[in-house]
């Protein structure tokens, strides 16, 4: 495994090459970087891509179809595995391996913010697993300074968007499902705020359908972003790097959980 510092160095080198403006030099540089990382496939679209190596080949998918699959899969394997399966079940058909061998259902444990602990919403975790397998390590993204850009953008979008955004073609629940903004990528906060505003309890059919629609909304955005990335038009919207900006890994709205006073991490005290 490379250290963060090594990735940073490779990142800046790639930026330098891009800045030089010579396409040929840039491409050569990227190939050199790609081959320098163990397990990094030179040509991600090469036939017979293997399970051990990544990133994996991607072909553009239909966002609405993906969202529908995610919605229905939620009722079988819940949020995280639903998002993964929504994308990978289609790539299994269109690409084959390594998607065929990937045990997407095993990610059923992401349910309820990982085994019911309310940490990161499984839809966000699933989207990060998918984008990371397809885009690859930090140097693979269009703007490597922001790490796993599509995954990070997803957390940002999820936190700042009234969800769910997606309405299934044939909703299993006919009751109106209200939208709430979580201001957090966490399952606990997201589900909690929705339950508080809607009045529906955790075990209700409405809460379940809300989470199925959230998974569908995330799967939809994920494929929109992956398609843009494939076309080289993806532009990351979140421009902050939590570790560097705050000296602690976190979501950026510190006051949401520290309303009285945001504690300073040791680096900021020095």
Cβ proximity to ligand HEC: between 233 and 249 the closer is: 249
Shortest gap between Cβ of 82 and ligand HEC (angstroms)? 24
Q: How many residues bind ligand HEC (CB under 6 A)?
A: 15
> For residue 249, what are its two tokens?
């890994």
Which of 209, 246, 259, 270: binder of ligand HEC (CB under 6 A)?
246
- Tell me how far apart the terminal alpha carbons of the chain are, to the nearest angstrom: 31
CA distance 116 to 96: 32
User: Is residue 184 at the binding interface for ligand HEC, with CB under 6 A as the rule?
Assistant: yes
User: Is residue 250 at the binding interface for ligand HEC, with CB under 6 A as the rule?
Assistant: yes
CA-only gyration radius of the chain, Å: 19
User: Is residue 251 at the binding interface for ligand HEC, with CB under 6 A as the rule?
Assistant: yes
Cβ proximity to ligand HEC: between 171 and 247 the closer is: 247
Shortest gap between Cβ of 166 and ligand HEC (angstroms)? 25
Whether residue 56 contacts residue 131, with contact meaning beta carbons closer than 8 Å, is answered with: no
Q: C-alpha angle with apex 246: 145 to 251, nearest 5 degrees?
A: 80
Cβ proximity to ligand HEC: between 89 and 119 the closer is: 119
HSE-CB at 171 with a 13 A cutoff on CA atoms is 18
Shortest gap between Cβ of 184 and ligand HEC (angstroms)? 6
> For residue 86, what are its two tokens?
């929504």
User: Is residue 114 at the binding interface for ligand HEC, with CB under 6 A as the rule?
Assistant: no
User: Is residue 252 at the binding interface for ligand HEC, with CB under 6 A as the rule?
Assistant: yes
User: Is residue 119 at the binding interface for ligand HEC, with CB under 6 A as the rule?
Assistant: no
User: Is residue 30 at the binding interface for ligand HEC, with CB under 6 A as the rule?
Assistant: no
Whether residue 138 contacts residue 147, with contact meaning beta carbons closer than 8 Å, is answered with: yes
User: Is residue 190 at the binding interface for ligand HEC, with CB under 6 A as the rule?
Assistant: no
Which residues have CB under 8 Å from 32's CB, separation 6+?
none
User: Is residue 248 at the binding interface for ligand HEC, with CB under 6 A as the rule?
Assistant: yes
Region class of 2: left (phi > 0), else alpha (psi between -120 and 50), else beta: beta
Matching residue, tokens 């990133």: 55
Q: Which span sits near ligand HEC by CB under 6 A: 2-10, 39-47, 111-119, 254-262?
A: 254-262
CA distance 139 to 13: 10
Shortest gap between Cβ of 195 and ligand HEC (angstroms)? 17
User: Is residue 263 at the binding interface for ligand HEC, with CB under 6 A as the rule?
Assistant: yes
User: Is residue 267 at the binding interface for ligand HEC, with CB under 6 A as the rule?
Assistant: no
Look at residues 222, 61, 221, 232 and name the one whose alpha carbon lies nearest to residue 143.
232
Q: Which span sits near ligand HEC by CB under 6 A: 14-22, 93-101, 146-154, 258-266?
A: 258-266
Q: Which span sits near ligand HEC by CB under 6 A: 17-25, 45-53, 148-156, 255-263?
A: 255-263
Whether residue 71 contacts residue 215, with contact meaning beta carbons closer than 8 Å, is answered with: yes
Reported residue count of the chain is 270
Residues that bind ligand HEC (CB under 6 A): 184, 186, 246, 248, 250-254, 256-258, 262-263, 265
């Amino acid at each position: 495994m490379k250290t963060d510092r090594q990735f940073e160095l490779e990142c800046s080198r790639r930026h330098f090459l891009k800045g030089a403006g010579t396409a040929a030099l840039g491409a050569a540089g990227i190939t050199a970087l790609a081959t320098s990382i163990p397990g990094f496939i030179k040509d991600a679209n090469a036939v017979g891509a293997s399970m051990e190596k990544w990133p994996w080949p991607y072909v553009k998918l239909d966002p609405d179809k993906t969202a529908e699959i995610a919605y229905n899969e939620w009722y079988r394997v819940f949020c995280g595995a639903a998002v993964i399966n929504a994308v990978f079940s289609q790539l299994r058909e269109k690409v084959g391996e390594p998607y065929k061998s990937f045990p997407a259902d095993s990610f059923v444990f992401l349910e309820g913010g990982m085994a019911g602990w309310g940490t990161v919403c499984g839809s966000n975790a699933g989207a990060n697993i998918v984008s990371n397998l397809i885009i690859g390590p930090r140097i693979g993204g269009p703007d490597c300074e922001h790490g796993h850009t599509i995954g990070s953008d997803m957390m940002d979008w999820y936190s700042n968007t009234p969800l769910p955004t997606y309405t299934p073609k044939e909703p299993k629940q006919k009751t109106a499902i209200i939208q709430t903004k979580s201001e957090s990528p966490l399952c606990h906060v997201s589900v909690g705020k929705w339950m508080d505003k809607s009045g529906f309890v955790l075990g209700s059919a409405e809460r379940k359908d809300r989470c199925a629609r959230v998974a569908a909304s995330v799967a939809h955005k994920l494929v929109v972003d992956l398609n843009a990335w494939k076309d080289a038009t993806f532009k990351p919207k979140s421009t902050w790097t939590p570790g560097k900006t705050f000296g602690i890994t976190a979501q950026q709205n510190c006051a949401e959980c520290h309303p009285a006073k945001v504690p300073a991490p040791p680096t900021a005290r020095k």
